[in-house]
C-alpha cells in the first residue's frame, strides 16, 4: 500500500481502505489521554481544514490544544474550496491571521491539514511578520498534484486546473523552505496523497515526523495529536 516513488499516487488498495482506516482512528480516540504531553504556553494557533472541510473537522485538534494551554482559533472561512474560499492570493486567510495577530499582539502559529497546510505555508511566505511557526498535517506541498488520488476532486471543488501555471506557481511557493520553524507530519501509507510529497527533502530544516495513518481523519489520530503537542512544545 506504499507508493514506490514520489511521482506516483498511492495504490488503489490504500485509497479503497481509507474509510475503514478512518473508522479505526475514531475508535482509537476513546483511549487518547493528555497525560505526559508538553503543556502549552498560551500562544495563538490558527487551525485550517483540508479540501472540502470546515472548522468542524478540526474540533478534536482544537480541543486538545485548548486543554494543553494554547489559544486555538478556527479559520472561520467556511468550507475549504481553495481559492474560491480564501481568494486567489490567499488574502482572506491572510486577513484572518492579521485579525488574530491584532487581537493577541503575538505572532500566530499555523497548523494546516492537507490543503489547509499548503495554504498555511503560502501565508507564512507572504507574511512572515505575522507567523511564529508552521505545522502541516498530511499536506502534499512538495510534489505534483498528480501524485495524489484527489486531484480530480480538487479541480472540481476549486475550479482550478492542476496544470494551470498559476496553480503550479502557488505550489512551488508553498514548497520553498520557510523562514520560521516548521514541521510536517506525514504518513507513508496515506491513501489519498503520496506521503513522500508531504515533507521537505531529507536534511531540510523543516522537521518531518512520520506517522502511520489514513488521510481521512488524520488530524484525529492519537499518534498525530501527540506529535502536534510534542512539536509545538519544542517550539517554546
Mean confidence (pLDDT) of the chain:
96
Q: Which three cell numbers stand for residue 186?
A: 506525514
Query: CA 114, 204, 138: angle at the middle one, nearest 5?
Result: 15
Placement of cell 506525514 in the chain: 186
Cα(229)–Cα(210) distance, integer angstroms? 15
CB-based contacts of 58, cutoff 8 Å, min separation 6: 47, 48, 49, 74, 113, 219
Q: For residue 174, what pLDDT is reported?
A: 98
> What's the pLDDT band for 1 if we cut at 50, 70, 90?
low
CB-based contacts of 213, cutoff 8 Å, min separation 6: 21, 25, 138, 187, 189, 190, 221, 223, 224
Contact (Cβ atoms closer than 8 angstroms) between residue 100 and residue 47: no
Summarised one tens digit per residue, pLDDT across range 167-194 is 999 999 999 999 999 999 999 999 999 9
Summarised one tens digit per residue, pLDDT across range 132-181 is 999 999 999 999 999 999 999 999 999 999 999 999 999 999 999 999 99
Placement of cell 494543553 in the chain: 68
230 has a pLDDT exceeding 70: yes
Cα(219)–Cα(112) distance, integer angstroms? 10
Q: For residue 7, what pLDDT is reported?
A: 87
Q: Which three cell numbers stand for residue 236?
A: 517554546
Q: Quick one: which H or E segment has residue 120?
A: helix 115-126
236 has a pLDDT exceeding 90: no
Q: Which three cell numbers stand for residue 125?
A: 511566505
Summarised one tens digit per residue, pLDDT across range 38-91 is 999 999 999 999 999 999 999 999 999 999 999 999 999 999 999 999 999 999
Backbone φ, ψ for residue 225 (5° rounding): -60, -40
Amino acid at each position: 500500500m506504499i507508493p514506490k516513488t514520489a511521482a506516483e499516487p498511492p495504490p488503489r488498495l490504500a485509497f479503497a481502505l481509507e474509510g475503514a482506516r478512518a473508522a479505526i482512528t475514531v475508535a482509537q480516540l476513546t483511549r487518547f489521554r493528555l497525560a505526559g504531553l508538553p503543556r502549552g504556553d498560551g500562544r495563538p494557533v490558527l487551525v485550517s481544514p483540508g479540501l472540502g472541510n470546515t472548522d468542524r473537522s478540526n474540533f478534536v485538534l482544537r480541543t486538545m490544544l485548548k486543554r494543553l494551554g494554547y489559544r486555538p482559533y478556527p479559520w472561520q472561512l467556511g468550507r475549504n474550496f481553495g481559492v474560491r474560499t480564501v481568494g486567489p492570493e490567499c488574502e482572506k486567510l491572510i486577513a484572518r491571521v492579521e485579525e488574530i495577530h491584532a487581537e493577541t499582539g503575538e505572532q500566530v502559529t499555523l497548523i494546516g491539514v492537507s490543503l489547509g497546510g499548503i495554504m498555511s505555508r503560502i501565508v507564512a511566505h507572504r507574511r512572515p511578520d505575522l507567523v511564529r511557526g508552521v505545522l502541516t498535517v498530511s499536506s502534499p506541498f512538495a510534489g505534483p498534484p498528480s501524485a495524489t488520488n484527489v486531484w480530480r476532486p480538487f479541480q472540481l471543488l476549486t475550479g482550478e486546473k492542476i496544470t494551470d501555471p498559476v496553480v503550479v506557481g502557488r505550489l512551488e511557493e508553498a514548497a520553498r523552505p520557510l523562514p520560521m520553524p516548521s514541521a510536517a507530519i506525514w504518513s507513508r501509507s496515506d491513501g489519498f496523497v503520496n506521503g513522500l510529497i508531504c515533507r521537505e527533502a531529507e536534511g531540510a530544516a523543516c522537521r518531518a515526523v512520520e506517522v502511520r495513518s489514513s488521510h481521512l481523519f488524520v488530524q484525529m489520530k492519537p499518534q498525530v495529536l501527540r506529535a502536534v503537542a510534542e512539536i509545538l512544545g519544542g517550539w517554546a
